[in-house]
Chains A and B, each alone.
Chain A
Amino acid sequence: MALVSADTKIAELLTELHQLIKQTQEERSRSEHNLLNIQKTHERMQTENKSQSTCPTSPYYRTKLRGLYTTAKADAEAECSILRHALDKIAEIKSLLEERRIAARMAGVYNDSDPPRKTMRRGVLMTLLQQSAMTLPLWIGKPGESPPPLCGAIPASSDYVAKQGDKVAARVKGVDGDEQWILAEVVSYSHSTNKYEVDDIDEEGKERHTLSRRRIIPLPQWKANPETDPEALFSKDQLVLALYPQTTCFYRALIHTPPHRPQDDYSVLFEDTSYADGYSPPLNVAQRYVVACKETKKK
């Protein structure tokens, strides 16, 4: 029943989103007119300035321009607020979908009578991981606002507890005793023991691990925009843990180049002894799967 209501809720939200997008276009055409006005005024001013190069700006133009710019600013703010509103709606839809996914998963875990779930092909899993990275929302702050924790390279606060369903990098002991950072999903957190229960994301070796806090690194929840918040990105040559492409494991790597645009990936050099210089050639890894590497190499 809960699922059905979620469905209708999502449908409602989508309708609202649709409306908002239409409104945006209206706002945009309105401000267009004003912007054109500004441009024309400037042109006229310039031609007049040329002919009588004496006065810099006449008081008439000054007041006129001030008025026009004030309107333009108000228009832009209105458009901006609608866009933010639309972003909120998208976030709401995403969280509803996520809730539903977790609910379905729990049901799957606890219901023995269901037929066994089909395991995904690895290729499909990889595509899903890529898509999740691609659709990770971009953090859009208000002017002057600095990016929050878990945006890009900004780490979570020390007391942060990852929610159920969140993706994390988890340090687990492998069968052969080697420690490995794997991509995992949080199942629960016990405040009494300060331990997480996480599931390996890889269905083939699906295993539940109970791990202490320090073995868990939450993944970013927003992309940082390199154009506006470059400080929230790892910088060149910084040591990180990055998900090796087409795998579910994190490895130590150096940032080769940070992203230039919001949709760009990091280019990283993985530590790899099979290459002469000890590093792989540059490989692309999405912001979603690059986290700070805390420990120094112990081996």
Chain B
Amino acid sequence: MYLMVGWFLTNCVCNEHYLTMLCELDRKELPMPATQSLSFILERFKLPELNTAILRTGAHRAGMAEPAAQASTQARLQQGPSGGSASSGPNTGSGSGSSDPARPGLSQQQWASQKKAQVRAFPRAKKLEKLGVFSACKANDSCKCNGWKNPHPPTATRMELQQQTANLSEACRSCGHALAEHVSHLENVSEEEINRLLGMVVDVENLFMSVHKEEDTDTKQVYFYLFKLLRKCILQMGKPVVEGSLGSPPFEKPNIEQGVLNFVQYKFSHLAPKERQTMYELSKMFLLCLNYWKLETPSQFRQRAQKEDASAYKVDYTRWLCYCHVPQSNDSLPRYETCQVFGRSLLKSIFTVTRRQLLEKFRVEKDKLPPEKRTLILTHFPKFLSMLEEEIYGENSPIWDADFTMPASEGAQLVPQTVLSPVAVSGSPLRKGQAGSALDTVVSEPITGEKRKLPEALTLEDAKRIRVMGDIPMELVNEVMMTITDPAAMLGPETSLLSANAARDETARLEERRGIIEFHVIGNSLSQKSNKKILMWLVGLQNVFSHQLPRMPKEYITRLVFDPKHKTLALIKDGRVIGGICFRMFPTQGFTEIVFCAVTSNEQVKGYGTHLMNHLKEYHIKHGILYFLTYADEYAIGYFKKQGFSKDIKVPKSRYLGYIKDYEGATLMECELNPRIPYTELSHIIKRQKEIIKKLIERKQSQIRKVYPGLTCFKEGVRQIPVESIPGIRETGWKPSAKEKNKELKDPDLLYNILKNLLAQIKTHPDAWPFMEPVKKSEAPDYYEIIRFPIDLKTMTERLKNRYYVTKKLFIADLQRVITNCREYNPPDSEYCKCANTLEKFFYFKLKESGLIDK
């Protein structure tokens, strides 16, 4: 990760003209190629070193972006070529990259600190001379000279070191007073303070050059302000404090860093630890990049933004220059990290541009990325940023809440989501608080594609799932899982497409994982200004729908797609809409109406339709709606059937009548969602399960190694044989399952006969007499008011004859009710209850004897 960051910094800071310019500052004195300006950053943050350490140990990386001890900088400086290893691509190894071993490159920061060290090592007299230049003359009150000027200006900067130190009595070139008059205030000042002032002198010199070279007026102005500020501080021996309307850091809470970390927790905490770590690393990388990213100038910003935004941005930009950017090379000023002092508003202004530049950078220079990081950057990073974008610009994103916490524990994490699924929850809040009881029971985790994370996924599952008795031991399953080398992963994805039984959505899933296609839930809004991209996509959707559904009036489509109550799940490829599902949620009615569904003709039969519907299902599970209703026309029925829709409608008519749009000649279809199913991964999970079972069967076969001749009994006219009698079946480990035993007897006649026999025996029992016939009202007038479900043995005999007892359960229930009715109506010590007790014992004994209930 950090190798990558190092690479990135090398590349991005190179074009920072500010640093470059600073490097040129004293070119004569210290020749250095501009491209090495950032080696100091790398040095300072010890990126290369940390990186190798991390690669070896896999240690936790938190906090390493903090500035490391300066001491190591010095140590490494003496080792010669520095920043190179950070910029090394796959071919250069840890070699020298861009730095030239003959001329140890020094960045501006390095140069500044070296220069400071040099100046601080001067003899005191020389130091005073240097400070005198920035100190007001105190000869008398009337002298306005604010800095001693050497009467013998050095001809070349290079000579400065060898030059004679000016004598304290040397007269100032401008006011004529002696140097001593300029530095009198420093007489009793400690060496430490002198050194601090000297540091500021070096920084002032730098700033002077910066002001001189900067072309952007806004930036120039700030540099000039800082220049004056530092000068004043030297004069007054004060500490620089940026004054004015800028305010002081932090400027917003929560800060960017907190927001991004919340984002990782919010979106990825359900992932397996390794993947979560990956996401965490991506976020760290993003934050580090941001801390060193050169922001666009207010004038650049103004060209693409609203006027009011621009003025706010200018304030932020000035803050950034004063507190983050300039202090990077100018340590007289207190330094803050961009991500720690700024919050969502700055990120909002810079994210789009920064993201584009960042991705462009990575794309252009992808060959320089270490190969093992390439996938991470090229596939995961864009998605990571897309998802982050939703949260930055989304209305109700929770990640910016001051008191953001994840709902519940990680274990109770909602519905498992597709890894990196970028389905946007635009404008609609999250799952916070929605992790209701219904979803808490979710146990299944998606078994995801990559082999290496399977064991973890399994143990996780193992812990949660209630094991089935007599199931295959988990160790065995794990072992098998390890042996299943995913052929698709080994031979490249193409082979999996070749197989004729590849899942319908396999290609689409792969494409999504690689970032070729994206899914976003979007909609129009009247209350807030929709962003331009969303509007463009809505127009795109309207075009796709009206082209693919020629029988729908175009105006009608437009009206619904742009209706704020309707939303559309859009399928985006190369930034263009190629398909979508327009829907309207009715949360109060507990269903969603699917309004339009189409994929553009030249992108059909690629599984996009299926993948779209699966994403829509997961989106709805997240929002607690579990029914889809739609009017399907004759061509659409096939599609909806494949997506699990049926013509059998379970939602009561009263719930949708008057809500759903009625279409003539179309068929109403419904799909019920199961919140435990991760729909976008379902076909993949099933495929894996099949593989596992196949492997388990193969193992068993290789253990048994026995071939029996086929059964011939069926040819001879036998219609059915018990499973146990098949030769060899027991050796395979087959057992009649517990379920099997409890199963109803298949033959209804058999059950009838058993029950008839049983009932006859009960009726002949000596204690059965009170229950032989229905209770007569004449004998117990209030009986039927107390007993709601009367039953007796005569009625049971009739029910049996009428074949009412199709299961033993019904029979036992009636029998039991005879007893409970009796106990309810009669006092416990009555004759009737005594009879009931004996009879109950008797018939339970008989039920067990006949095998109807377990012994």
Contact = CB atoms under 8 A, between A and B. Distances in A.
Contacts of A245: 601-603
A131 B494 CA distance: 9
Contacts of A126: 605-606
B385 to A, nearest CB: 28
Contact of B547 (A121, A127, A274): A274
Interface string A111-152: 000000010111110111001000000000000000000000
Contacts of B504: 121, 123
Contacts of B606: 123, 126, 246
B602 A124 contact: no
Given A245-B602, A246-B606, A127 B500 contact: no
Interface residues of A, number: 15
Give the most central of A123, A127, A245, A274: most B CB within 10 Å: A123
A103 interface: no
A180 to B, nearest CB: 16
Contacts of A127: 497-498, 507
B94 interface: no
B501 interface: yes
A244 interface: yes
B726 interface: no
A246 B602 contact: yes
- Of A121, A126, A128, A131, chain B has the most CB atoms within 10 Å of the CB of A121
B497 A124 contact: yes
A283 B602 contact: yes
Given A131-B494, A274-B547, A274-B550, A124 B502 contact: yes
A143 to B, nearest CB: 33
B604 interface: yes
Interface of B: prevailing SS: loop
Contact of B501 (A118, A128, A283): A118
B647 to A, nearest CB: 23
B502 A246 contact: no
B550 A124 contact: no
Nearest to B606: A123
B576 to A, nearest CB: 10
A280 to B, nearest CB: 8
Nearest to A245: B602
A121 B502 contact: yes
Nearest to A117: B500
**Residue with the greatest number of chain A CB neighbours at <10 A, chosen from B550, B601, B606:** B601
B607 interface: yes
A205 to B, nearest CB: 14
B500 A120 contact: yes
Contact of B507 (A118, A123, A131, A274): A123
Interface in B597-631: 601-607
Nearest to A125: B605
Contacts of A122: 605
Nearest to A134: B494
Nearest to A122: B605
A123 B503 CA distance: 10
Contacts, number: 41
A118 B603 CA distance: 24
A271 to B, nearest CB: 14
B500 A246 contact: no
B357 to A, nearest CB: 28
B571 to A, nearest CB: 14
Contacts of B550: 274
Given A123-B504, A274-B550, A246 B498 contact: no
Contact of A246 (B494, B501, B603): B603
Nearest to A203: B500
A178 B550 CA distance: 21
Given A121-B504, A123-B507, A274-B550, A128 B498 contact: yes
B575 to A, nearest CB: 15
A121 B507 contact: no
A118 B500 CA distance: 8
Contacts of B500: 118, 120-121, 124
Nearest to B547: A274
Contact of B602 (A120, A123, A131, A244): A244
Contacts of B605: 122-123, 126, 246
Interface in B566-585: none
Contacts of B603: 245-246
A123 B498 contact: no
Which residue, of B502, B602, B606, has the highest number of chain A Cβ atoms within 10 A?
A: B602
Contacts of B507: 123, 127
Interface string B497-518: 1111110100100000000000
Interface in B461-502: 494, 497-502
A128 B500 CA distance: 10
Q: Which residue, of B497, B498, B504, B605, has the highest number of chain A Cβ atoms within 10 A? A: B605
Contacts of B607: 123
Nearest to B497: A127
A118 B502 CA distance: 12
A283 B500 CA distance: 27
B148 to A, nearest CB: 53
Contacts of B498: 124, 127-128, 131
A131 B606 CA distance: 14
A245 B603 CA distance: 7
A195 B604 CA distance: 34
A118 B497 CA distance: 15
Contacts of A131: 494, 498
B551 to A, nearest CB: 12
Interface string B102-145: 00000000000000000000000000000000000000000000
Contacts of A121: 500-502, 504
A136 to B, nearest CB: 16
A229 B605 CA distance: 34
A126 B607 CA distance: 11
A126 B507 CA distance: 12
A24 B165 CA distance: 71
A245 B606 CA distance: 11
A120 B500 CA distance: 5
Contacts of A123: 502, 504, 507, 605-607
A57 to B, nearest CB: 36
Interface string A152-172: 000000000000000000000
A75 to B, nearest CB: 26
Nearest to B501: A118
Q: Most chain-B Cβ atoms within 10 A of its Cβ — which of A118, A127, A131, A283?
A: A127
A121 B603 CA distance: 15
Contacts of B601: 244-246
B604 A246 contact: yes
A274 B502 CA distance: 34
Contacts of A283: 602
Nearest to A126: B605
A244 B600 CA distance: 12
A49 B725 CA distance: 100
A68 B504 CA distance: 59
Interface string A242-274: 001110000000000000000000000000001
Contacts of B501: 118, 121
A225 B504 CA distance: 35
A251 B224 CA distance: 68
Interface of A: 118, 120-124, 126-128, 131, 244-246, 274, 283
28 contacts: A118-B501, A120-B500, A121-B501, A121-B502, A121-B504, A123-B502, A123-B504, A123-B507, A123-B605, A123-B607, A124-B497, A124-B498, A124-B500, A126-B605, A126-B606, A127-B498, A127-B507, A131-B498, A244-B601, A245-B601, A245-B603, A246-B601, A246-B603, A246-B604, A246-B606, A274-B547, A274-B550, A283-B602
Given A124-B500, A126-B605, A246-B605, 9 more contacts: A118-B500, A121-B502, A121-B504, A123-B605, A123-B606, A123-B607, A124-B499, A127-B507, A245-B601
Interface of B: 494, 497-502, 504, 507, 547, 550, 601-607
- A-B residue pairs, 4 tightest by C-beta: A245-B602, A122-B605, A127-B497, A120-B500
